[in-house]
Structure 1
Amino acid sequence: MMGKRTVAQEALFYEFGIERHVPASHLLRSIDRFVDLSGLRTHLRPFYSEIGRPSIDPELMIIGYCFGIRSQRRLCEEVHLNLAYRWFCGLGLEGDVPDHSTFSKNRHGRFRDSDLLRELFETTVRRCIEEGLVGGEGFAVDASLIKADANKQRSAEGSEAVDWEAMAETSRSVQEYLDTLDDAAWGAASETKPKFVSRSDPAAQWTGAMKGHAFFAYATNYLIDLDNAVIIDVEASRAIRQAEVGAARTMIERAQDIFGLHPERLATDTAYGSAEMLGWLGCVGIQFWGRRKR
């Protein structure tokens, strides 16, 4: 039968160690063990004021990125309640979590030009190289589509004249697009006009590449080492093949400059095998291994 509900009597003193309540297999333990984040503070120092209230630790921002917590309010709630998050951020049991509005200002303002994610990413790749997980002899490259938050009903036809300069005065995304019109991954990627252009996010590409309903999207391009499938570099671009091919070249050059990695071969689908790309690969001494895309 159902017994009487037992109500625990609160103890007068508690002995509690947050360290032993974080599982050994938790992702944050792996990050804390293998990735040295001490350099982030030095990297971010110029973006903080020397006066005013104490700054927010960048580790709190990293939690949001690692676990896909996009809401500022929810991020604060999760850090407040989750012991592993508190342990990683060094807050203990009584440390105060910053207000969600402060997170928002950091993510969309202060850290926007700091390349925080790029710094964290390259720090992780360097550790993988040190541990012998990256061979560097062979790379693979491919792109994935990321659906943009843009509504077709508020778009303009590609041939329609739009006063983008006027819209840029009130829209940050439009201004950023105008600033990148000469970049190979964006405006200069192709002279072909898309069927539709988003008024709120003109850098997003109208695409039907998924063989279903067309939508506005970006492309996330990956450069992957073939030994252990470690991602060496990532580059965003418009969701068209010309921009993706240009992004592949950018990533290969950046891997050489930053990590000193120069592959002997590049594995990808044959859609990357344009005459310009093949000529460039031949000049830099990289073999092209193309596979027909299904």
Structure 2
Amino acid sequence: MRGPDTFTEGLFTMRRLDDFVPADHPLRRIRVMVNEVLAKMDGLFSRMYEADIKGGRPSIAPEKLLRAMLLQILFSVRSERQLMEQTQYNMLFRWFIGLAMDDAVWVPTVFSKNRQRLIEHDAVVAFFNEVLETAENKDWLSGEHFSVDGTLIQAWAGHKSFVRKDGDDDGGSGGDFKGQRRSNETHKSKTDPDSKLYRKGKTASELRYMGHTLPNCSTKNP
């Protein structure tokens, strides 16, 4: 018998976010390892926010920031704006970051500002080093080979957002850039300032992120 195309939503739910994540999902094991690393970085996080101890609005927890940034890499999310959008409705993302179903998702500009603090205090580098040390202590690494990999990730920004840093309008409007010289030294995207203008092979230049992986070891099956 054909089922009815109806939608009935209950007023309450007794399920947790954890119930929606499969028991064998790889992010479960990753999250355990990440949380172990973040616990070791508690001292660094405390020093980062010493200046704010006298008051002010609470900032985004650095642990949540780093988990969100890791998701952006693992799932190749093109921009922080899109990352925030997906976190709004993606229960897997909320669970991994540590946001409850009713928690508000951060405004992209607020997320970017808080992320910059992590970068300024080398917290991202410390996080990577702690992950590497943890993997080595668990004997998940081997130094049998050296491999290099590079890739370009397309940014969630168009050519119209790539404007001059000095505020000049390039003498044109409507996104007509024919005959104009534009480069990363003189221009930047107003919607995604971290993206750069790159060309891959014979393709046209696009706003992208450049990523490099330089491991000197291989991962064992833990």
TM-score category (smaller protein): 0.5 to 0.7
Please say if 1:89 is aligned against 2:97.
yes
| Gap runs ≥5 in structure 1 | 152-166, 172-197, 230-294
Could you say which structure has the greater relative contact order, defined with CA pairs below 8 angstroms and 6 or more residues apart? 2
- What amino acid is aligned across from residue 112 of structure 1 in structure 2? I
Q: Which residue of 1 aligns with 2:142?
A: 135
Superposed displacement of residue 4, structure 1: 4.9
Unaligned runs of 5+ in 2: 168-181, 187-195
How far apart, in 2, do the equivalents of 1:127 and 1:201 lie?
A: 39
Shift of 1:31: 1.7
- CA 1:57/1:2 → structure 2, altered by over 3 Å: closer, same or farther? same
1 CA distance for matches of 2:76 and 2:153? 16
- Cross-structure match for 1:17: 16
Tell me, in whole angstroms, the C-alpha distance in 2 between the residues paired with 1:34 and 1:93. Answer: 23
Tell me which residue corresponds to 1:117: 124
The secondary structure found in structure 1 opposite 2:142 is coil
Q: Give how far 1:102 is off.
A: 0.4
Aligned to 1:98: 106
Equivalent residue number for residue 39 of structure 1: 40
1:120-155, Cα deviation, whole Å (9 max, x unpaired): 22222112212212234x341435365899x9xxxx
Alignment of 1:98-247 (within 5 A): 98-107=106-115, 109-136=116-143, 138-142=144-148, 144=150, 146=152, 199-201=183-185, 220=212, 222-226=214-218, 228=220
Relative to structure 1, is the Cα distance of residues 124 and 115 closer, same or farther in structure 2, using a 3 angstrom cutoff? same
Q: Which residue of 2 aligns with 1:73?
A: 81
Helix, strand or coil: the match of 1:96? coil
Q: Percent identity?
A: 25
Q: Give 3-state SS (helix, strand or coil) of 2:214's partner.
A: strand
* CA distance, structure 1, for counterparts of residue 84 and residue 211 of structure 2: 30
Alpha-carbon displacement from aligned partner over 1:146-177 (angstroms, at most 9, x marks no partner): 5899x9xxxxxxxxxxxxxxx9x969xxxxxx
Contact 1:86-1:92 within 8 A present in 2 as well: yes
Which structure has the larger Rg? 1
Hey, what's the Cα distance between the residues in 2 that align with 1:226 and 1:144?
17
CA distance in 2, matches of 1:69, 1:147: 9
Question: How many Å separate the matches in 1 of 2:7 and 2:210?
Answer: 55
Q: CA deviation at 1:40?
A: 3.8
Provide the C-alpha distance between the structure 2 equivalents of 1:39 and 1:127, rounded to a whole number of angstroms.
10
Aligned residues: 182
**Contact 2:76–2:153 at 8 Å: present in 1 too?**
no
Q: Is the CA contact (8 Å cut-off) linking 1:135 and 1:227 kept in structure 2?
A: yes
Aligned: 1:53 with 2:18:
no
Instruction: Give me the CA root mean square deviation.
Output: 4.1
Distance 1:199 1:28, change over 3 A: same
Q: Deviations over 1:45-93 (max 9, x none)?
A: 3433322111212324333333222423222222221222222233222
CA deviation profile, 1:182-216 (whole Å, cap 9, x unmatched):
xxxxxxxxxxxxxxxx84249x9x999x6x67989
Q: Report the counterpart of residue 282 of structure 1 in structure 2.
A: none
Cα gap change, 1:64 to 1:45, in 2 (>3 Å): farther
Q: Residues 118 and 30 from structure 1, CA distance in 2 versus in 1: closer, same or farther, beyond 3 angstroms?
A: same
Return the structure number with greater strand share: 1
Alignment deviations for residues 236-284 of structure 1 (CA, whole Å, 9 cap, x no partner) = xxxxxxxxxxxxxxxxxxxxxxxxxxxxxxxxxxxxxxxxxxxxxxxxx
